Structure 1
Amino acid sequence: MTLPAPLDRADAVVFDAYGTLLDIHSAVQRHAAAIGPEAQTLSGTWRQKQLEYSWVLSLCGRYAPFWTLTERALDVALALHPGVDRGLRADLLEAYRSLDAYPEVPATLDALRRAGLRTAILSNGDGAMLDAALRAAGLESRLDAVLSVDPAGTFKTSPRAYDLAPERLGVARERIVFVSSNRWDIAGAAAYGFAPVWVNRTDQPDEYPGLAPVRVIRALDGLLA
């Protein structure tokens, strides 16, 4: 199989999990009828606060498990959307533990491994939440490694977080293609020295000049096109 760039120069493909392999908005969508018209904005606020807390803690030199930040972010999102029933909190958190994978993900991971590439996740998620999510999505057997930033004690985009991938896989950073739907994560990966591929599912504008992806795709199967 002839692989397109940048896969033709890679030994491993490392993926972000949340928003890249797993649909972060599927938790709220499962309960959209009960939430009502604020479902989409609630989901956006939940994600925004989750990421905001990870960046602020990292800049402060502090750390908490990503699940803790996910819970805190939902509490603030519910407070900011008082029209949403707070009694849905437990259901929403349970749904977040078993997010849907994007439909093209399983076949893409299988194709990459058939092509001789190692596949891994490097995620802000802590080990327990990643294990639950990947098991629910049926992805755990399709990955050679699942790496949480927990051992680094900091979140992406810290270089210490990205260090975990080459150290664990035994692959030089320039031989790793890093795939994320988060443009800030692509910027961090570019600065670190990975070959970053941005999955821009919703036609977001480009950001972070000087820290560009080597390729932009609309969905994960675009890696192989």
Structure 2
Amino acid sequence: MIKALVFDAYGTLYDVHSVKKACDSPFPEKGETISAEWRKKQLEYFFQRQMMGRYRPFDEVTRDALRYACKAEGAKLTKENEDMLMEAYLELDLFEEVEGVLGKLSDKQRVVFSNGSGNMIGPLVNGSKIVDDIDMVISADEIKQYKPAAAAYAHALDRLGVERNEVLFMSSNS
């Protein structure tokens, strides 16, 4: 019997490309391309670090990816704009169906399990409309192992106190 429903955050519950609006502010007409490159590099960087055994917190990976994306697009990134765009990552839009779906699943433990470091995923969930629908937030940063490492999923199972066959992990990411 399923006891816990575990959702990835970035790209599953939250639209990472909703930062496009924030990117357009300092870099008109470049928001979409910066957003796309930012996410692409973010994924590449944490996967590469995981494979090399050189963990860095997700906020650092995200900042490095932002710097790369701006440079690749010829957008001069000031410290002020960098901080503003990193702040935008704490206020990502929910996908429109998320609230309704989570509301219908209240008979199960509803959990966010993210590669996001605590200083990113905590404010994102706590500042969103689904905060009351989430029973627990788990960060891969707690064990310094990014998903999809088996150790990350084992950590989530330990935190939940459930067996593997009692949980559904859901993600829109590969």
Fold similarity call, TM over 0.5: yes
Letter in 1 for 2:21: Q
Q: Which residue of 2 aligns with 1:112?
A: 105
Matches within 5 A, 1:1-225: 9-32=1-24, 34-82=26-74, 84-87=75-78, 88-113=81-106, 116-183=107-174
CA positional deviation for 1:11: 1.4
Distance in 2 between residues matched to 1:52 and 1:165, nearest whole Å: 23
1:124-154: CA deviations, max 9, x gaps? 0011111111122132221111000112211
Structure 1 runs (4+) greater than 6 angstroms displaced: none
Letter in 1 for 2:127: A
Letter in 1 for 2:89: Y
Kept after mapping to 1: 8 A contact 2:6/2:167: yes
Distance in 1 between residues matched to 2:34 and 2:69, nearest whole Å: 6
1:166-195: CA deviations, max 9, x gaps? 111111112211111102xxxxxxxxxxxx
Unaligned runs of 5+ in 1: 1-8, 184-225
Kept after mapping to 2: 8 A contact 1:14/1:176: yes
Match of 1:35, SS? coil
Kept after mapping to 1: 8 A contact 2:23/2:35: no
CA positional deviation for 1:75: 0.5
Letter in 1 for 2:3: D
> Would you say how many aligned residue pairs link Structure 1 and Structure 2?
172
Distance in 2 between residues matched to 1:136 and 1:51, nearest whole Å: 24
Match of 2:14, SS? coil
Structure showing greater radius of gyration is 1
What TM-score, normalized by structure 1, do the two folds share?
Answer: 0.72
1:64-117: CA deviations, max 9, x gaps? 1100101010001111010x342432221111111111122122112101xx11
Higher relative contact order (CA 8 A, sep 6+): 2
Kept after mapping to 1: 8 A contact 2:22/2:31: no
Percent identity over the alignment is: 36
Match of 1:51, SS? helix
Letter in 2 for 1:105: V
